[in-house]
Amino acid sequence: MLSIKTRYVLLAALSLLPAFGSFAQKPLTLQEILREIELNNPSLKSYDNMIKSQEAKVEGAGAWMAPMIGAGTFMTPYPGQGMVGEGDKGAFMISAEQDIPNPAKLKARKEYQRSLSQTYFFEKNIRFNELRATARRAFFDLLIATKKYKFQKENQQIVQNMKKLAEIRYPFNQGSLTQIFKVEGRGFDVDNMLLMTEGEIRSKKITLNTLMNRLPNAHLTVDTNQAIAFNPVANLDTTYFSETRSDVLHMQHDIHSMLVNIKAMKQEAKPDFRLRFDHMDNYAAMMPTQFTAMGMISIPIAPWSSKMYKSEVKSMSYQKTAMEQQKQAMVIEMLGMARGMENELLTMQKQLNNYENKILPTLNKALKAAMITFQQNKGDANMMMESWDAQNMGQMNYLDQLQKFYQMIADYEKIIER
């Protein structure tokens, strides 16, 4: 038996295990999150079953029509016809019929069904590109919210220090209650902003957990120190999009599938076959047992029947040309959008460098100087608050610009599908 003290120690250790597990969880990078989405997202898994479903259809594409069998009476007089001779009593007939499709038609239809199975493969890639862009936006927003929270915590500490300085000066008639309350009010504003930022962080983590097919409120730690850089594609041109973008490849596949369908439709000009066998057992004992065996062939080149497949071939040819033109327009539009984003991103990158290396350090120096002046009884709280407001506004402007920069990177990565 364990002693009471030992039991308490074990219970305490067990209660701390979840906490240790959360702290020990390795922070996920963006690439690790994207990989988990690719493996676990249910909407992507559904396409695998769609591909298997279409492949199952291919197996049955070469099947024949089911045979037809029948039984009944043949050339039997209606009742009440009077005297009927032995040879006019009719016969009991058993009939069997089988349609035999042209082998070239079956082969063409099978090839067309096989081409359709690839459609879901490209649709899966398109869906993954959309999920990847959504995950990037949520991850980047989470990075911004984390940086914002850090700034706000620092600003909260600064406001608290400012309030303490104002309270120290007030008994010596070197400050006013108005200044103290003003600083205190700013502190409450910072508290509210911290609450909003904490909620935003939780919201983005819920989004990422959902994309990874985890419980929405599951513990999630991401690598907030991951460096996000803009890396433009070298020698970006229409060939790149034609070989990379899933939707362009999907359209190219649809054009190929249309060509296969046109080939299958042209096979309709070839004849089909039919075999029929009838066995007749006469009701008259003196009449012989008879049979009928027939072989039939369709004549699809007849003018009144050839219009159907000829018009379909003509219609699909126009559709194929239209799809090729749409593909060309899509690729050119993508190239223009990507080039425009590259220009904007390079400009924003320079602006962010100015914020990080010039604007924010200067505003911080101004705030420190104002606080030193206030401590030395050479300034008032209003001047110190103005410097604090300027730094706070500069930080928020920087984060807004950084968020736009990150979101445009996500859009750029979606366009080039990387």
Q: What is the residue-averaged pLDDT of the chain?
A: 86
CA dihedral for 281, 287, 288, 290, sign (positive or negative): negative
Q: Is 25 domain-assigned?
A: no
Residue 382: which pLDDT band, with cuts at 50, 70 and 90? confident
pLDDT value at 169 more than 70: no
Residue 168: which pLDDT band, with cuts at 50, 70 and 90? low
Residue 23: which pLDDT band, with cuts at 50, 70 and 90? very low
pLDDT for residue 175: 58
Question: By CB neighbour count within 10 A (0-12 exposed, 13-18 middle, 19+ buried), where does 2 fall?
Answer: exposed
pLDDT for residue 171: 62
157-171, 268-282, 363-377, range with greatest mean pLDDT? 268-282
pLDDT value at 177 more than 70: no
pLDDT value at 317 more than 80: yes
8 Å CB contact between 336 and 406:
no
Amino acid at position 91, single letter: A
pLDDT value at 222 more than 80: yes
pLDDT value at 19 more than 70: no
- Mean pLDDT of the region 188-212: 93
- Distance from C-alpha of 101 to C-alpha of 109, rounded to nearest angstrom: 11
The full DSSP string for 336-369 is HHHHHHHHHHHHHHHHHHHIIIIIHHHHHHHHHH
- Distance from C-alpha of 282 to C-alpha of 212, rounded to nearest angstrom: 75
Residue 28: which pLDDT band, with cuts at 50, 70 and 90? very high
Residue located via tokens 């594609």: 233
Neighbouring-strand partners of residue 294 = 276
pLDDT value at 38 more than 60: yes
Give me the number of domains the chain comprises.
1
**Measured in Å, how far apart are the chain's first and last C-alpha atoms?**
61
The enclosing domain of 293 has a CATH number of: 1.20.1600.10
- Mean pLDDT of the region 204-220: 95
Domain that holds residue 249: 32-76+85-416
pLDDT for residue 55: 83
- Mean pLDDT of the region 390-408: 95
**Per-residue model confidence as pLDDT tens digits over 87-125:** 778 899 999 999 999 989 888 888 888 888 888 899 999
CA dihedral for 204, 210, 215, 216, sign (positive or negative): positive
93 phi/psi in degrees, rounded to 5:
-120, 140
As separate numbers, helices (DSSP H) first and strands (DSSP E) second, the chain gives: 10, 4
pLDDT for residue 157: 87
Query: Two tokens at 124?
Result: 């899966």
Query: Two tokens at 354?
Result: 């100015």
Q: Is 300 domain-assigned?
A: yes
Cα 381 to its chain centre, rounded Å, is 53
pLDDT for residue 18: 46
Query: Two tokens at 301?
Result: 């080149």
4-18, 67-81, 176-190, 400-414, range with greatest mean pLDDT? 400-414
CA distances from 386 to 17, 155, 383 (A): 48, 13, 5
pLDDT for residue 173: 56
Percent of the chain with pLDDT over 70: 90
pTM, two decimal places:
0.81
Q: Is 133 domain-assigned?
A: yes
pLDDT value at 216 more than 50: yes
Q: Is 214 domain-assigned?
A: yes
Q: Is 6 domain-assigned?
A: no
Q: Is 36 domain-assigned?
A: yes
Gyration radius of the chain's alpha carbons? 40
**Per-residue model confidence as pLDDT tens digits over 335-364:** 999 999 999 999 999 999 999 999 999 999
Percent of the chain with pLDDT over 90: 54
- Distance from C-alpha of 283 to C-alpha of 74, rounded to nearest angstrom: 10
8 Å CB contact between 228 and 406:
yes
CA distances from 280 to 73, 206, 284, 307 (A): 9, 76, 12, 40
Give the HSE-up count for residue 240: Cα atoms under 13 Å, Cβ half-sphere.
16
Residue 176: which pLDDT band, with cuts at 50, 70 and 90? low
- Mean pLDDT of the region 215-219: 93
pLDDT for residue 90: 84
Q: Is 21 domain-assigned?
A: no
Q: With left for phi above 0 and alpha for psi between -120 and 50, is residue 116 left, alpha or beta?
A: alpha
pLDDT for residue 381: 73
Output 170 or 214, whichever has higher pLDDT: 214
Question: By CB neighbour count within 10 A (0-12 exposed, 13-18 middle, 19+ buried), where does 265 fall?
Answer: buried
Q: Is 8 domain-assigned?
A: no
Sequence-ordered strand ranges (E) for 273-320: 273-282, 290-297
pLDDT for residue 335: 95
